[in-house]
Structure 1
Amino acid sequence: MLKEGGLTTLCVALVCPLQDTNQYTICVVNVGDSFAFIMSKRWGLREITVGSHDIQSERDLRDAGGALGPVDGKNPELNNLTCSMTFVDPGDVVFLTTDGISDNFDPVVTKIAQAAISPTVASPSEKNDSNIAETGNKEICNSKPAVDPTKPEMYPHERHHYSVKEMERTIHEYELLTEAPCSAQELCGAIVQHVCVLTDPKRKVLEDPTLFIKRKMKAKDKKKRDAEIVAKMARAPGKLDHASIVAYEVGVYRGEDEENTDYGGVATSQGSNRGDTLEEPPPSPRLYESTV
């Protein structure tokens, strides 16, 4: 893999039943900006992997924070390698997403808010500045005015909480239409549909056929055209990135669709007249995956 392998983030979850109870436990290992969530029937939606990234600090959406593969030409970047564990109930839906899914619920990415400028600690030369407010032993500079006064400013932790609630709202809106709780498959569809609709304006800019017409252009005209494309992309909401989601409905199983299946050398067949008692086939988890 030296300088030849690709880079990737990772999010793996294992759901196991607990002994002497109807609850389950879930253990998640993740690297980078691929996260895991639980849609609980009792507690709503929450992120399991919240410990892998600092929600109090401004996050560069272009930086995954960690990756597998030869990041420096030889070694992986495991700065945010995290193992998380929590409890879930039967019927809860556990789902894993790449940043192409989760980042498209961020209010700054969706263009309904703007990133608040975090207060900075004043330097000694700024102590006499009128914009400095003292709070205890800390001297903090006032935030700069918002770039767009029509949009609210949101700090990193506020953006994170909003993203989770927006994801939950998207799922509940689908449930209002169907008048039934979301299955794992339906949850994947609702989340992916949100991302597709949000990023559609950006895709239309890049898929404009007039951009690819072969014609001679002066360097000045080409630079102007590229600047216009960049400006249109910046104004459009959403983030175009690899978007994958996989979901699992805890404690829900389905039988095999095939009539004849070999389970460890034990053949089973529907409609058999044999009186032999066959071993019950192991249940298959209800697992769904979507990628755009």
Structure 2
Amino acid sequence: MPSLRQRVTTYFRQLSFIAEPRDGARLGSPRQGGDGSFITKYLEGRLDGENSPPDIYSGKEPSDLPDFPLSAYETGTQAITAACTGPDDGLTCVKRSRLHLSAGPDIDFIDTNQDQDFDVRKSPSLATIKSKLSAKTRGDPNANKGEKKKPNSRKNSTNQPPDAKGEKTTINVVVSLVSRTPAKEPQQLEDTVNQNTAATEEKDEAAGEPIAGVCDWKADREYAYGLSVSLYEENPITTEQSGSPIADCFGLVARGSSAALALADGVNWGEGARLAARSAVLGCLEYLDTAVFGPHGTAKATREVLVSLLRSFWEAHDCILEVGGALSTLTVAVIIPLGGEHAGKSVVCACNVGDSLAYVYSKTFGVREITQGSHDITSMRDMRDALGALGPVDGNKPELGNLTLSITIVEPGDIVFLTSDGISDNFDPVVGKFAEALTHDAAIEPRLATKRQNKSTSAIPATRYQGKDVPLVKNSRQGASTSTQGGLPIRPPRTKKTVGGLAQSNAENVVPSRPKYMRSHTVIEPRKSTKILSPDPLLKFPRSSAGLPLVTGAQRHKLTLLRLEDLLNYGINGTLKPCTSAQKLCTLLVDFAKMITSAKRKVLEQRESYVKLVPDEHGIRREVEMNRMQQRAARRRIVEGSTFQSLPGKLDHATVVAFEILPQSSV
């Protein structure tokens, strides 16, 4: 009887190794029974698409990418058609001072030669990126020419408890800028901060000031949607979920056929990681709302959008420092209609740092990764390494090692979606236990001999017992001459020998002419195939000792995209129709991540990991809840065990936000 581990592993393996053939219309090949899964087809070289997808351009600077002309697009607050953020209240839980941004015509967001420069915090790794924001201080006492903000801004990040009406819990932040006036006494400074905090609260409550240009952040649509869940286990005693709170955040603002998407994944757990993710999304969307979608920030070409994307990352980094957040990854995508020869299509300008990725799903070209230039797809990546992050990584400087700009062209009906590593990693074939990584230490499955009925029979012919005088073609029992195939031993004919002849034979022959033990021939010969061999034989791929395919880094990345495409085309059970909306795409991805990690959650939710039996004064054993340290130790023992490691999936916070490209006529 198979064990629970074997049954669970077999069940999840069937999610991709489904028996039904999945030759969609995109490949243009007829359906054939027993044609294998898409993993086998790809590894054998039978899954080459006829249509080549649009190119994906990537680089470190805007000048490294082509410059496409843009068409006219909607701008301003009145043009917003959809907006959403999450989880919970998302970026709306962070309130920051507006002193660092100016929405008027005094700010020029295009690289031009100006007399006055507004300094922003820079990192040596991006010394070539100069954020020149010229500010005219006419009539503005808050504008300090050429002065930097304090690295450690004063903040008040105390969470206010919600009242009985269920109002939103907000984090109110007041930023103190550097000025030429002498510093105040500590008590005076504290009073000023409290007064400014109270004034900010009254202003927001009275006027309902929009956040990042949006007044209603709960206006999601079927074509603009986001979803965030936790894949961690739940405490069966307290119903508390491990890894709480969810340290991811997403934001989406759509204006007709244009949109801005942002997704941040806080590094590690805790309030600091969640605050960093929320602040990063808020900072970048605030900047893009003014620089790209503001009334005075209309871009004419993609290079202008890329420059604004880079500056929005610095604004996100500054926002994290202002609110005192930890570290966070960030991926931002701006979708704008194209003009010129690409009229009718749209362009996706993306920028990312860390391991949060961006994709495009097309019913014609399948799934392709926009941010593939930010990581080496040919190597085996350590999924515990975020590769980069915003926030105070080194002092007040971020880690921008893999910061990458990307561009690709999309068509109406395509769906652009951003994911955290809790989604993308669970589609990895190695994480899903559908394949194993091909490394130097991988044990390759040995070439087995032909299957034998009698396992005690040696598959190697015993030719060393044949003497020189034994004929190899004569069979005395059948009375016919037959050729021995494979050098199989043939019993020599019996001859009558005298005593003298026997002694002479024993002296001359050191090795006897027949073996001491001889078994009948029980090896099953392979059936000769009558089919005509294909002129292009299928590629042979190695397998591990467990029978799973061994894949390289490039194959691993391609299989991840194929699994995403397979899910969006056929659903989890392989019987659904292709995905047609952003909302359905988010639901499918999250449901798949939940399903593939359910076995690990069930193992960690065992009651024995949270309670222990302790005898009372009467000798009766009763359950007593373990303390937090004991529960962590029990969880660590389970996670490090071989049984848990053999289960598919990765427990993490899973977040996805998607936008469907709309035709320009629908604006």
Q: Say whether the fold is shared (TM-score over 0.5).
A: yes
Give the letter aligned to residue 164 of structure 1. Answer: L
Provide the rounded CA distance (Å) in 2 between the counterparts of 1:17 and 1:110. 37
User: How much has 1:172 moved relative to structure 2?
Assistant: 0.8
Change (3 A) 1:209 1:73: farther
Query: Which runs of structure 2 are paired with 1:168-187 in the superposition (5 Å)?
Result: 168-174=565-571, 177-179=575-577, 181-187=579-585
**SS state at 1:76 partner:** strand
SS of the equivalent of 1:196 reads helix
Q: Which amino acid aligns with 2:552?
A: Y
Match in the other structure for 1:28: 350
Which of 81-90 and 185-194 deviates more?
185-194
Residue 68 of structure 1 pairs with residue 466 of structure 2:
no
CA drift of 1:210 comes to 1.8
Give the aligned partner of residue 409 of structure 2.
Answer: 87
Query: Which consecutive aligned stretches of 4+ in structure 1 deviate over 2 angstroms post-superposition?
Result: 1-5, 145-149, 174-182, 214-217, 222-230
After TM superposition, list the pairs within 5 Å mapping 1:44-193 onto structure 2: 44-117=366-439, 148-174=545-571, 177-179=575-577, 181-193=579-591
TM-score (norm 1): 0.70
For 2:597 and 2:557, how far apart are their aligned partners in 1? 20
Specify the structure having the higher radius of gyration (Cα): 2
Judge conservation of contact 2:355–2:388 (CA < 8 Å) in 1.
yes
Instruction: Give the corresponding residue for 2:456.
Output: none
1:233 corresponds to: 644
2:592 alignment partner, one of 190, 194, 197: 194
2:607 equivalent to 1:209: yes
Which residue does 1:290 correspond to in 2? none
Q: How far apart in 1 are the matches of 2:546 and 2:433?
A: 13
- Give secondary structure in 1 for the equivalent of 2:391: coil
Note the C-alpha offset of 1:4: 5.0
Secondary structure of the residue aligned to 2:640 is helix
Look up the equivalent residue of 1:240 and give its one-letter code.
Answer: L
Residue 15 of structure 1 aligns to a residue whose secondary structure is strand
Q: Which amino acid aligns with 2:391?
A: G
Partner of 2:337: 17
3-state SS of the aligned residue for 1:166? helix
What is the letter of the counterpart of residue 64 of structure 1?
A
Q: SS state of the match for residue 70, structure 1? A: strand
Structure 1 counterpart of 2:325, one-letter code? G
Deviation at 1:6, TM superposition (A): 1.4
Shift of 1:236: 1.3
- Which residue of 305, 327, 338 corresponds with 1:7? 327
Q: Point out where structure 2 has 5 or more consecutive residues left out of the alignment.
A: 1-320, 442-541, 615-625, 627-631
Separation of aligned partners in 2, 1:208 and 1:170: 30
- Residue 359 of structure 2: SS of its match in structure 1? strand
Which letter maps to 1:165? L
- Residues in 2 aligned to 1:197 and 1:246: alpha-carbon distance in whole angstroms: 19
| Percent pairwise identity | 45
Question: Scaled by the length of structure 2, what TM-score is found?
Answer: 0.32
1:146–1:166 distance in 2 versus 1, CA, 3 Å? closer
Give the secondary structure class of the aligned counterpart of 1:247: strand
Aligned to 1:250: 661
Q: List alignment gaps of at least 5 residues for structure 1.
A: 120-144, 256-282, 284-292
Amino acid at match of 2:551: M
Q: 1:117 to 1:215 in 2, by over 3 A?
A: same
**Residues 1:225 and 1:15: Cα distance change in structure 2 (over 3 Å):** closer
Paired residue for 2:47?
A: none
Give the superposition deviation at 1:244: 0.3
Q: Secondary structure at the match of 2:657?
A: strand
Please say if residues 354 and 389 of structure 2, whose CA atoms lie closer than 8 Å, have aligned partners that are also in contact. yes
1:37 aligns with 2:435: no
Aligned equivalents of 1:92 and 1:225: distance in 2?
42
Shift of 1:166: 0.5
Residue 44 of structure 1, CA deviation: 1.3
Matches of 2:323 and 2:584, distance apart in 1: 40
Residue deviations 1:205-247 (CA, integer Å, cap 9, x gap):
2222221104579xxxx97985344213212111111110011
Instruction: For 1:187 and 1:44, locate their aligned partners in 2 and report how far apart those are by CA, in whole Å.
Output: 13
Change (3 A) 1:180 1:49: closer
Give the partner amino acid of 2:660. E
Larger mean Cα displacement after TM superposition, 20-29 or 162-171 = 20-29
1:182 deviates by 2.2
When residues 16 and 224 of structure 1 are mapped into structure 2, their CA distance, relative to the original with a 3 A threshold, is: closer
Q: What is the alpha-carbon distance in structure 2 between the residues aligned to residue 90 and residue 204 of structure 1?
A: 42
SS of 2:408's partner is strand
Specify the SS of the correspondent of 1:202.
helix
Measured at CA, do residues 73 and 237 of structure 1 come closer, stay the same or move farther in structure 2, by a change above 3 Å?
farther
Check the 8 A contact 1:10/1:68 in 2, yes or no: yes
